[in-house]
Amino acid sequence: MPLALALGAAPAHAAAPTRLRDSLAVLPMVVEGPGGDSSVSAIYDAVIRATRTRLGLRVISAEEMFVASNEGLVARVRDCGSDAACIAAKLRMFDARLGLVVVLNYQLDPPVYSLQLLDTDAGRKVADRVGEVPRGEAPLDVVTREADALLGAEGFVKSGRIVVDVDPPRAQLRLTPGPEPDPGTPNVFTVAPGRYTVEGSLEGFSTEHTEVDVTSGETKTAKLELDEQRSLWRTPWPWVAIGAAVVGGTVAAVVVSQRPDPCFCTTLNGQGCICK
């Protein structure tokens, strides 16, 4: 049976391999047949949709694996067949802690999917999910759903999100404890489940805080409204005081500027001058 092994293009979102306990190498495969077709890159993307919200999981990019495939990885993995220990050994070249082999078999009608999670250190299968693609469902959607269920069952926690609705929008936001905002979205934070304090600050405005509780897979909105801090010269109370004094007599107002700090001074009928 013709066999295609995934090492095609995918979004570049991982750096050069480093030894991380939860780094994951994905090997999508397609068994061609009359039941349909999928590209290996589309299967890879279907898995990525399931992994991107899982905390502590770095997916090795397809580009990294494509480079390795030119050095004979495809043939070596194909020679392993269904031997989990053999495949796990090949994946160690990426410093991958885990491997996920995904197969869509279109020789059958309906097509059959198979997902196999491997522990590369132990050289064994950790978990698997196998079944027919239900009638009326897209095979790639089934791959995403099954990969999500498999990773959840193995303890990979799904992240939550905090979206901050702040006025004025240019305020600086900070999460405690927590990460920096998501790239390109200064008001969105991807976080682990828990309680967080959101702080908004901006020069000339009050600093405001609010607390947010986030559960796994949940998106919460936090609202912050900062009050503008008005200076003496922009607030009406000095002129109100002067107006009240006019009722009882002649008022003179003078700004005493000889002191290091300017002094706003009022006199009533020429009697006295008080500076504050």
pLDDT for 89 equals 86
d(CA 214, CA 33): 45
Tens-digit pLDDT profile for the chain (276 aa)? 444 444 333 333 333 333 335 789 888 888 899 988 898 889 999 999 999 888 888 888 877 766 665 666 667 777 888 788 998 888 877 778 899 999 999 999 899 999 999 999 899 999 999 999 999 999 999 999 999 999 999 888 889 999 999 999 999 999 999 789 998 999 999 999 999 999 999 999 999 999 999 998 899 999 999 999 876 555 555 545 555 544 554 444 444 444 455 555 555 555 555 554
Q: Are 121 and 153 in contact (CB under 8 A)?
A: no
Q: Dihedral (C-alpha) 134, 136, 137, 140: value to the nearest 10 degrees? A: 110
Same-domain pairing of 96 and 181:
no
Same-domain pairing of 99 and 142:
yes
Same-domain pairing of 254 and 206:
no
How many domains, in total, are found in the chain?
3
Same-domain pairing of 219 and 238:
no
The DSSP symbol for 232 reads G
Residue 12's contacts (CB-CB under 8 Å, 6 or more residues apart) are: 61, 63
Same-domain pairing of 144 and 181:
no
Of 128, 153, 178, the position where a domain reaches its end is 153
Distances (CA, A) of 38 to 16, 83, 100, 193: 28, 24, 18, 35
- Bond before 168 cis per omega within 30 degrees: yes
- The CATH number covering residue 68 comes to 3.40.50.10070
Q: Residue 214 is which amino acid?
A: V
pLDDT for 222 equals 96
User: Per the confidence metrics, is the pTM higher than 0.75?
Assistant: no
Residue 124's domain spans which residues? 3-153
Same-domain pairing of 263 and 194:
no
Q: Are 117 and 126 in contact (CB under 8 A)?
A: yes
Same-domain pairing of 9 and 84:
yes
Q: Give the number of other CB atoms < 10 A from CB of residue 131.
A: 12
Distances (CA, A) of 203 to 12, 67, 171, 210, 222: 38, 50, 9, 19, 21
Same-domain pairing of 89 and 172:
no
pLDDT for 87 equals 87
Residue 227's contacts (CB-CB under 8 Å, 6 or more residues apart) are: 205, 206, 208
Of 134, 153, 172, the position where a domain reaches its end is 153
Same-domain pairing of 20 and 141:
yes
Of 153, 179, 212, the position where a domain reaches its end is 153
Q: Give the number of other CB atoms < 10 A from CB of residue 39.
A: 15
pLDDT for 241 equals 53
Same-domain pairing of 12 and 141:
yes
Same-domain pairing of 180 and 98:
no
- The CATH number covering residue 191 comes to 2.60.40.1120
Same-domain pairing of 149 and 164:
no
Nearest to 62 by CA among 75, 72, 47: 47
